[in-house]
């Protein structure tokens, strides 16, 4: 769940596949692989997102950035940014945005995060993450649980708090996952993404989040927000659905509507003027004939 192993290492060492599809292989002797797992991963150049690595440890309330679920959501990502969701099975790829391929990677097994969040501090994954990231970066009582909590909250931000995103999940993403994963489909996704047990959308409302609510993943979410905000509408359809700035949206369409009405009235005036001229000519000809 943390990383994807690479089997084609030809027996020379340990190989892992990172989010950018590059394969990092360790060629040390097997005796050298007895070092702690965290040290081994650091030699591979791999790491999970951390508060320190994302430079969020100095965030203060006056500098925190808004994360608005009315624009930062799966529906806007699809319609306005024309970016698709790529479901992945490794935690280190969660919320990684590829602007070139226009893909946002999302972890597809949130139940794993829920179990880890509730797990004993003595489990392997808890001990690994505690060693990987010093506990002072997390909650004092549950140093690792906050990492998994952020992952779970990110699903609600992207899907559950926006009606169009809930609809998109139900009509598109859920169908794809059920077909791709079969029996491995995680039903907890439905709850996180805003579906009831009957498969209907819930009534969660968009709200404002802040980056300091996501000390570890806030940088990725902020980057995603900035990516969406700078995307111009690419067609009339996306222009109609683009409601990132409602004031500009209403202003634009008011100009279009009243401008169209003015144009139609102008055309009707021209048509009526032509008809008047034609009628005047006919009347004049009739007068001459008489």
pLDDT in tens, 175-208: 999 999 999 999 999 999 987 655 555 556 677 8
Radius of gyration of the chain (CA): 28
As a whole number of angstroms, the distance between CA 211 and CA 215 comes to 7
The 10 Å Cβ neighbour count of residue 141 is 9
Q: Residue 269 and residue 275: Cα distance in Å, rounded? A: 10
Residue 209 pairs in a beta bridge with: 67
pLDDT for res 33 = 56
> What residue spans of 231-245 are helical by DSSP H?
236-241
CA distance 275 to 108: 67
Q: How many CB atoms lie within 10 A of CB 45?
A: 11
Report pLDDT for 204. Answer: 65
- Which residues neighbour 250 within 8 Å (Cβ) at sequence distance 6 or greater? none
Q: What pLDDT is attached to residue 215?
A: 85
What is the torsion angle, in degrees rounded to the nearest 10, for the CA atoms of residue 228, residue 234, residue 239 and residue 242?
-10
Residue 103's closest CA among 79, 124, 87?
87
Q: Is the pTM of this model over 0.85?
A: no
What are the CA-CA distances from residue 40 to residues 23, 28, 73, 198 (Å)?
Answer: 15, 10, 36, 46
Query: Taking the domains of the chain in order of start, what are their residue ranges?
Result: 4-44, 61-235, 245-290
What pLDDT shows up at residue 197? 56
pLDDT tens digit at each of 290 positions of the chain: 655 666 555 555 555 555 444 333 444 444 555 666 656 655 544 456 665 444 444 444 446 788 888 889 999 999 888 899 999 988 888 999 999 999 999 999 999 889 888 766 666 666 666 666 555 445 554 457 788 899 999 999 999 998 889 999 999 999 999 999 999 999 999 999 987 655 555 556 677 888 888 888 888 999 999 999 888 766 556 666 666 566 666 776 677 788 888 889 989 989 998 988 888 888 877 777 76
């Amino acid at each position: 769940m943390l990383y994807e192993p690479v089997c084609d290492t030809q027996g020379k060492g340990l190989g892992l596949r990172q989010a950018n599809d590059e394969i990092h292989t360790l060629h040390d002797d097997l005796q050298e692989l007895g070092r702690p797992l965290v040290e081994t991963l650091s030699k591979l150049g791999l790491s999970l997102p951390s508060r320190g690595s994302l430079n969020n440890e100095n965030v203060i309330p006056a500098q925190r950035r808004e994360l608005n679920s009315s624009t930062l959501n799966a529906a806007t990502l699809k319609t306005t940014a024309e970016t698709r969701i790529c479901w992945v099975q490794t935690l280190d790829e969660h919320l990684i945005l590829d602007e070139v391929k226009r893909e946002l990677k999302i972890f597809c097994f949130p139940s794993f995060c829920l179990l880890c969040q509730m797990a004993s501090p003595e489990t392997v994954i808890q001990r690994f993450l505690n060693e990987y990231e010093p506990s002072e970066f997390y909650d004092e009582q549950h140093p690792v649980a906050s990492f998994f909590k952020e992952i779970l909250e990110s699903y609600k931000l992207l899907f559950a708090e926006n009606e169009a995103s809930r609809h998109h999940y139900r009509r598109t993403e859920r169908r794809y996952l059920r077909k791709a994963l079969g029996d491995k489909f995680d039903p907890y996704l439905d709850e996180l993404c805003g579906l009831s047990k009957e498969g209907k959308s819930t009534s969660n409302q968009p709200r404002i989040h802040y980056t300091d609510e996501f000390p570890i993943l806030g940088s990725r979410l902020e980057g995603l927000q900035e990516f969406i905000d700078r995307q111009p509408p690419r067609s009339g359809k996306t222009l109609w659905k683009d409601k990132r700035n409602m004031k500009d949206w209403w202003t634009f369409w008011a100009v279009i509507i009243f401008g169209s009405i003015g144009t139609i009235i102008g055309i009707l005036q021209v048509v009526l003027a032509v008809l008047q001229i034609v009628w005047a000519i006919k009347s004049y000809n009739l007068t001459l004939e008489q």
